[in-house]
Structure 1
């Protein structure tokens, strides 16, 4: 269904879509149910429980109403739908926060699922775009409830929110702000794709004020996407005061310096007519023997590099692993499954999670970082292995 060109047709279509997408109490009830199951999945570190929580999520038709409000320039309806979605997001976050607090008395545990959903993954971005477009098209063109596309959006919205709350409650370093930003980027990206889909279906602002309202929100969405998906990385580096290390200055090579020896004065040649010697006294010149400065010598040394220990990225979820600058620190890069890394032998424990320091070769540059131990398949010998004594070989004639 395309957006009608006449005012009466537009009003009728918008009234029908607003009625169907208006948030009800079902949104909050199913948000509580879904948030509780997702939090239990994070507590148990179980993927199956988390997927069940996503399937129990509410149908996110209010998000479609929010997108329609943006593209048609309806501030009042935008506030209503946005407030409802915000309340449901806070519910999921608070339930995850309570689950994180409940996990503290049980001691260190693994949190692979929390860390997995606290990062941006390119496959999720692609699937989210497809799900957002399908949700908009299905909702606008049919009267059926779009269950499957709504599950895709619930996966992208609720899982990072639950991970953010759980990370804050369980005191996992650096997890909750990053997971919250992931949820924000997912929401902005899905909304941007929804706006493009509605624009393709000829939905337009109905007034100049609505056009300004739509333009401001569109710029805000683009700013969020540009800031947190890589285009604003250079700006964040300048704000944080980080800059690439300066190139090393080569030191000058040592040179040999020799002291010049004074040349002896030539003796006067005898003349043909000898003169009688005069009783003059000439000072005696003392010659200091020239000394040569000692030449600098180099002792050749042989540096034996240890045999590198390799490991392979082997995430059970199939999404690869995140490399950070420190255990639980800032994001550096994402390595896919099967990528080979070098172990540097350093380990650290943060909140029951073992981190291993690695080195990777990215475009010819050696980059060091930290990765979760459970996401690596380490070849033998393992880290901190001790070599056995070298056997003595005896040659017999």
Structure 2
């Protein structure tokens, strides 16, 4: 009796015949279920979080925190370079597109643990900021607000990270930097705001993180669907539809209301200004008073002539100099936000003031929660408001500046 021959399905795609291996790499509707299962299992292993993911998430968060404390953009980029591969984010997209609830939940839990580590490091940095508060939190506030630039960077990172992870011979290291920069950095900012009690950082950073995560997962799922991944069962389409609807609702909902809009839609043009100091001198012309008192001669029996002439000249010159106006220019590259009063609790006066714009100091200053605010007037449009002193470059000398 002869047994039926069974086809040998290799566990390693590299052991496949060349034609089948090429079809698996293209991932365009594999013809055989066994071949597709091998490719799916391979991608499932690549997108599963590991110990290195959690370790380097914490390392990246520490570097991000240093960048916020020192207000150094270079350290923020370095933190994104040291970050791990955002495999759980691609895992969310992968679980969505193939309809695997189990894998979706596993990726979500892994991402939640990594995000919690990042958030806790941000809180620790914020507590340190209570003792040693940086002179400027420009970078923190920039990444606690939504912007078109960050959405473009996130879009590029999510699409190319998902596409490169679908092919094991390609490295997603480069696009992963963009993905980390737009996901982990707002999360560190939120933790920093909670620890330092700096306003408008928490929960604004969490809102930005949630919106970016929903948008990145949606783009990753669409990318994997384009390259050929599909749900293995009809029921699997339900998970994908739910995730897509939630992602779209979160992104569109921001257009209605959000405390994180900030510079959203405001052009970040850089204006070049050359500050000049002008002093006002008001001279009063001198006044001369000439008094001449001649005395008429008096005739007496003895002829005597007594002429008396008194000449008095009193010049008076008075200088009344006006106070020298003090000017400063906006220092940050992204400009600043001017508020109606000293302190972050006051309303923002839109639009913001761009870099290099000249402002006049009106003499009022007030310290609120460790930050020194100064009252200024924008020279080009006459608006008045309050700005952090650390964000200004003085153009004319002022005592104790």
Alignment pair present for 1:63 and 2:89? yes
Q: Pick from 339, 344, 353: which aligns with 1:328? A: 344
Q: Which of 371, 376, 389 in structure 2 is aligned with 1:353?
A: 371
CA offset digits 1:120-179 (Å, max 9, x no partner): 232222122112111111111343331111111111111111111111111112312111
Per the alignment, residue 232 of structure 1 pairs with 256
* Cα RMSD after superposing both structures: 3.8
> Residue in 2 aligned with 1:288?
none
What is the match of residue 319 of structure 1? 334
Q: Would you say the 8 A contact 2:136–2:390 is kept in 1? A: no
Q: 2:377 and 2:225 mapped to 1: Cα distance?
A: 46
CA gap 1:184/1:107 in 2 versus in 1, 3 angstroms: closer
1:1-397 → structure 2 map (5 Å cutoff): 1-4=26-29, 6=31, 8=33, 9-106=35-132, 109-228=135-254, 231-233=255-257, 313-315=330-332, 318-322=333-337, 327-329=343-345, 335=352, 337-338=354-355, 340=357, 345=362, 347-355=365-373, 371-376=387-392
Q: 1:332 to 1:206 in 2, by over 3 A?
A: farther
Q: CA deviation at 1:96?
A: 1.3
Distance (whole Å) between structure 1 residues aligned to residue 148 and residue 353 of structure 2: 11
Change (3 A) 1:43 1:310: closer
- TM-score, normalisation: structure 1: 0.66
Task: Provide the C-alpha distance between the structure 2 equivalents of 1:235 and 1:29, rounded to a whole number of angstroms.
Answer: 32
CA contact (8 A) 1:111 1:353 kept: no
| Aligned-residue offset at 1:17 | 0.7
Q: 1:211 to 1:43 in 2, by over 3 A?
A: same
Change (3 A) 1:13 1:359: farther
Q: Name the TM-score, length of structure 2 as normaliser.
A: 0.65
* 1:314-342 per-position Cα deviation (integer Å, ceiling 9, x unaligned): 42xx3343456663246775647447486
Q: Is the 8 A contact 1:47 1:113 kept in 2?
A: yes
Gaps of 5+ in 2: 1-25, 261-324
* Distance (whole Å) between structure 2 residues aligned to residue 13 and residue 192 of structure 1: 21
Distance in 2 (alpha carbons) for counterparts of 1:30 and 1:350: 37
Q: Per the alignment, in what secondary structure is the counterpart of residue 202 of structure 2?
A: helix
Distance in structure 2 (CA, Å) of the matches to 1:155 and 1:4: 33
Distance in structure 1 (CA, Å) of the matches to 2:143 and 2:258: 25
**Alignment check: 8 A CA contact 2:153 2:182 kept:** no
Conservation of the 8 A alpha-carbon contact between 2:69 and 2:133: no
C-alpha contact (below 8 Å) 2:123/2:191 kept by paired residues: yes
Question: Are the counterparts in 2 of residues 110 and 353 from structure 1 also a CA contact under 8 Å?
Answer: no
Whole-Å separation in 2 of the counterparts to 1:109 and 1:375:
9
